[in-house]
Amino acid sequence: MKSRPPTLARLPRRKPDFIEPMDCAPVTKLADGPGWLYEIKLDGYRAVAVKSDGCVSLLSRGRKSFDHHYALIVEALAELPEGTVVDGEIVALDESGRPNFNLLQNFRSEASRIQYFIFDLLICNDRDLTRLPLDERRKLMKSLLKLRSPRLRIAEQFEASANDIGDLERAVSYIVVVDRGQQDFVRIRRMPLDEIGRRYADSFYQRRLHEISPTQPQRIGALQNQHASRGSIRSSGYIREHYKLLLEDIDSLAQAKLEGLIKAYEKSGMPFNEAAFYDVKQQIVDFCQSEQHKLIGSMNKTVGQFLGGVSFEPFAKEIVAGIDAIIGRLVCDLEMRRDEAILEDRRTKKAYAAGLGKQWDAFICHASEDKKDFVDEFARRLHDSGLAVWYDAFSLKLGDSLRRKIDEGLANSRYGIVVLSKHFFAKEWPQNELDGLMSREIAGTKVILPIWHKLTAEQVRQHSPILAGRVAARSEHGLEKVIAEVREAMGL
């Protein structure tokens, strides 16, 4: 029998005040098991809302006030019960309903698109909920927060296996994995580079950071002395030169980060394809937007110090435009690198295939019943890893002769990847394809690369003693490992 969450009256009292939000820990593999829940990672500003003595404060992770920027959200949060603290994310949604970080910068003109997603209830009615397991806090949050404003939403969570959540991860780029019993957050990032590759990439950024950081105070000091000697230290001209100097440093660091990531792909021998492009692009955009947030915060203080009551908004817009220009230029450079890599890969493959008389790297032999739970995704990821793959879903077009196209694929592929399963051995057609691959191995050239899908060694031995004696990849080990083993077997 499931336990009910405790009533608020039994919880210890606590004054409603800012509680520092917990950071995400980046990892490369989805946590799995009954103790984990999944959330979509929203692209916005993390914010803690506090309602005390009838007043609402909306505070950033660094405890800076968002009250002026997002006044409509603050107004909507008046619905919260007295003595309440919630943790959430300020998010701007575009016309398709997707989070758009850049819209947040235009907090006046885009105010109607901005919403606050609540994902945790920390204090309610002056009672401390932080010692409760997360799933109990979620139950209390849904029962106690009666949200009427369309600007306020409770972030949804998903209870599923890591395999089931895989398609969602690919669709939204980020997943937050939450320990239901504690308050541990794990951000999942699709990162093809391994730990050594990431460390190598980061070394470029760290080297540039060590070059820039020691000189930045001196450069700012020299700029201040220059304007002080001219009597213009309390002018908008000084403010603009100050943040332009800092924008140049951000630009230099972002370029170093981009260069390091591209070099890491080159050194690791991994293809710089669409998956790699989007991975690097997201890291560059994340870095620039994070630096933008910090720069706006620091320059807001500088404007208050040197210009008194002058509005900071025009300067903030110029900083956002400067960061957008940096992102735009770096992404354009990245697109050129990607296209160069794709064109070079095509040229190399054509020359290599011409030398072998082969058009494809691999032909995938399988039973159609195994498509949904393994082969479709395996073929897609194998293709994304940079290989030319003959797979019926990719290669057959309306009106093609099935038999002729399969024969063409078998004859013009370097290797045949055979997905062995109960369905495979129960059908004649895939076994005919296997016979065709076997005939090519009579000459002594390795052609067949087997994958066991939901089969034991004994089951394979019963159907094909010859295949049972071969080293095979196993689908149960996960797609990443299977693809790595296939590429290794191909000498890649």
For position 48, what pLDDT does the model report? 95
The candidate with the shortest Cα–Cα distance to 169, out of 158, 185, 156, is 158
DSSP assignment of 381-434 equals HHHHTT--EE-HHHH--TT--HHHHHHHHHHTEEEEEEEE-HHHHH-HHHHHHH
For position 81, what pLDDT does the model report? 94
For position 192, what pLDDT does the model report? 57
- Locus of tokens 């009672």: 127
For position 209, what pLDDT does the model report? 93
Give tens-digit pLDDT for 136-173: 888 899 889 988 888 998 887 765 555 555 544 443 44
Give tens-digit pLDDT for 374-407: 989 998 888 887 788 888 775 545 444 445 666 6
For position 52, what pLDDT does the model report? 94
Ramachandran bin of 351, using left for φ above 0, alpha for ψ from -120 to 50, beta for the remaining angles: alpha
Give tens-digit pLDDT for 315-368: 998 998 999 899 999 999 988 888 887 777 666 555 444 445 567 788 888 888
For position 232, what pLDDT does the model report? 93
Token pair, residue 70, equals: 């997002």
For position 447, what pLDDT does the model report? 76
Domains of the chain (ranges, CATH numbers):
8-189 (3.30.470.30), 195-353 (no CATH), 358-489 (3.40.50.10140)
**Catalytic-role residue among 433, 441, 476, 485:** 433
- The Cα–Cα gap between 180 and 137 comes to 10
Token pair, residue 331, equals: 């992404």
Please check whether residue 60 is in contact with residue 103, taking contact to mean a CB–CB distance below 8 angstroms. Answer: no
The candidate with the shortest Cα–Cα distance to 85, out of 145, 44, 2, is 145
Strands (E), 191-285: none
- The Cα–Cα gap between 298 and 247 comes to 12
Please check whether residue 460 is in contact with residue 420, taking contact to mean a CB–CB distance below 8 angstroms. Answer: yes
For position 339, what pLDDT does the model report? 83
Active site residue 458: no
Tell me which residues of the chain have a pLDDT lower than 50: 1-2, 167-175, 177, 179-191, 351-355, 396, 398-402, 442
